[in-house]
Structure 1
């Protein structure tokens, strides 16, 4: 029997109109978003939903305003979980997040109340906007060894994550990324600039530390009731704290190692709750050909969410019984 693992994505997986088909057609998804948006609007003074489903924006337009992407990523993925639990009766044996996705995983696990985590994410975004220099993040589809082989090219650039043997993430300020882009263009290497305006997982985030920690002031933490797998330490955590969530945005991402830790324990049904389907795609490269695990996503920039939700229901029932 394959136990379910819920996966959550971070900055870079967002886009305008993400989850729109579900928002228009699924009452559970829509009502969860409206509930969360009420709290977000109270703090921000404006609706996050109106930003995400802005009729003047197309899917290809860059959505990188941290004030809205931080809460939007949380809201959309948390709403997806409610659909899985309340309509499909799928409950996770583990939750695992990629970068900011760990904040969603924490709320789903019961470690932090979702409204409290949402409020903290909004305050964090506001503080980062105030104190951190602009930068960016880039996905490179090549051997991560390139990072050590070309020290001058990667000067002042931080290796934020190694996702698999031909995919890694780097972060830096804009001049350093411009230099890297020129090198990648000349050498014909494939890369993608993420829609992120800050160099998360680098020392450029350090000015935000105190304000980030303060964003959790007066928020209580509980022991997770659903096993919470850390994307920083690649192991199960039995308690979290503001200091841990700071590590989530400051330290390298160890999602690949966390998945390997799970795979050592058995076979799973991984459900990518992110809006992009990126984690499902990463798993297709991460997992050993001998693995009996299954992976599925519902949302993607190509829509088709209702059909994929029905397909998940059928596939999950077939795989777990």
Structure 2
């Protein structure tokens, strides 16, 4: 059964508790229950207010269990005052590392908007790179070429663009965007700085050039602080450089294989996490200098536009100014260290509190959390997908976004249901809300997800 979003709201906490108990009583009785999709549609469209709760369900048994937990106060909640002020939402586009075999298949099968957006990307990738994104996603692991950089990166950018289209169809649009390395391509398109054609051209031509430096260096992810990482780089005599600062305690280093292997052994002896990232090249380091002229030539036809919403650059850590996403920018994106932590700090300082990672599986939520905690800031951190739970994880995040004050497009979420007056059950539920119920359970404090 396809997962659905169950969502209800009320004007006060007491009324919300009455509403939750009314639904629980109805489902426990189990008589004359409609299809789960219709039930969830009626629940979502039949109530309103700043006191909200929502969760993804795939059966009535699942819904009953989650309602029992909610009625017992066992579910973390977004406070109503947060819902009322509708905190700023950031779309966070990941770089490499979120991929997994089988990604996208559930969404292709169940979500027409995602499928159509991915097919649009597929046509452009076929033109620029000569392969089919959709075909690669459907191939068995032994036949797919997703371990090849110039196949993986255009595929991941296409997935991110299709996920963004699905979020928008559900009524969720960002107030700002940020991208990590390759993720800046989809971020630039989402912000309006690049057309779809331009974004896929950057993804295809950039990754094709990167193949030329394959084997000349690699990347390693570490739990070193930025200051510690810089000290390691300075002590290496040029063999290692800092390729990215993800959080106050997470960095990426670039270097030759010998230097990185020695570093891994040294840090393991000190019980410090360090791992060479497979299938990468030493981007964000001097190794990409030889690509400078060819990348400029490959992207010379770009005609970037001013972004329509803030795009916080992980090259400068500041919002992109004007039409600044031309060929020179994408060389800087490839050559300079990724300043992800600084960009997140600036987003937090600007008042953004909700961070939705747009990727096939979350890889940046932990660095975002670490950065916000370091700055003593609150945040709600949400994925756009998880391995083998693509739709359900998106709906769970949509439920938190609803609790954070966003208004979903219920018609898009329940396309088979027809709007009209209140159904008899909706009317009965609203009548139950008007009746007092003793001893409501206090809501728990919200936590990052």
TM-score normalised by length of structure 2: 0.66
Q: Which runs of 5+ in 1 are unaligned?
A: none
* CA 1:206–1:153: 2 relative to 1, 3 Å: closer
Q: CA deviation at 1:131?
A: 5.5
CA distance in 2, matches of 1:154, 1:275: 37
Q: CA deviation at 1:75?
A: 0.3
Residues 22-57 of structure 1, C-alpha deviations (whole Å, 9 max, x = no match): 223211112211111111112322213322332134
Q: CA deviation at 1:116?
A: 1.8
Aligned to 2:319: 236
Q: Which moved more, 1:302-311 or 1:16-25?
A: 16-25
Any residues of structure 2 matched to 1:188-203 within 5 Å, and which? Answer: 188-203=271-286
Does the CA contact (< 8 Å) of 2:226 and 2:248 recur in 1? yes
2:394 is equivalent to residue 309 of structure 1: yes
Aligned to 2:115: 30
Q: CA deviation at 1:183?
A: 1.9
CA distance in 1, matches of 2:330, 2:101: 26
Give secondary structure in 1 for the equivalent of 2:121. helix
CA distance in 2, matches of 1:259, 1:148: 20
1:318 to 403, 406, 419: 403
Does the CA contact (< 8 Å) of 1:135 and 1:199 recur in 2? yes
Q: Which runs of 5+ in 2 are unaligned?
A: 1-85, 407-449
Give secondary structure in 1 for the equivalent of 2:404. helix
2:375 is equivalent to residue 292 of structure 1: no
Q: Which moved more, 1:175-184 or 1:195-204?
A: 175-184
Give secondary structure in 1 for the equivalent of 2:342. helix
Give secondary structure in 2 for the equivalent of 1:278. coil
Does the CA contact (< 8 Å) of 2:229 and 2:251 recur in 1? no
**RMSD of equivalent CA atoms:** 2.3
Aligned to 2:17: none
Aligned to 2:248: 165
2:337 to 252, 276, 289: 252
Aligned to 1:142: 224
CA distance in 2, matches of 1:171, 1:229: 23
Give secondary structure in 1 for the equivalent of 2:317. coil
CA distance in 1, matches of 2:395, 2:214: 43
CA distance in 2, matches of 1:39, 1:92: 25
Does the CA contact (< 8 Å) of 2:292 and 2:331 recur in 1? yes
Does the CA contact (< 8 Å) of 1:201 and 1:250 recur in 2? yes
Does the CA contact (< 8 Å) of 2:213 and 2:281 recur in 1? no
2:177 to 92, 95, 102: 95
2:124 is equivalent to residue 39 of structure 1: yes
Aligned to 1:75: 158
Does the CA contact (< 8 Å) of 2:302 and 2:327 recur in 1? no
Aligned to 2:202: 120
* CA 1:62–1:197: 2 relative to 1, 3 Å: farther
Number of residues of Structure 1 aligned to a counterpart in Structure 2: 317
TM-score normalised by length of structure 1: 0.91
Aligned to 2:302: 219
User: Higher Cα Rg: structure 1 or 2?
Assistant: 2
Does the CA contact (< 8 Å) of 2:90 and 2:352 recur in 1? no
Residues 164-203 of structure 1, C-alpha deviations (whole Å, 9 max, x = no match): 2321111112222222222233333222332333101000
1:109 to 161, 185, 191: 191
1:187 to 270, 280, 303: 270
Q: CA deviation at 1:108?
A: 0.9
Give secondary structure in 2 for the equivalent of 1:317. helix
Residues 242-268 of structure 1, C-alpha deviations (whole Å, 9 max, x = no match): 111111111011111111111112142
CA distance in 1, matches of 2:189, 2:163: 13
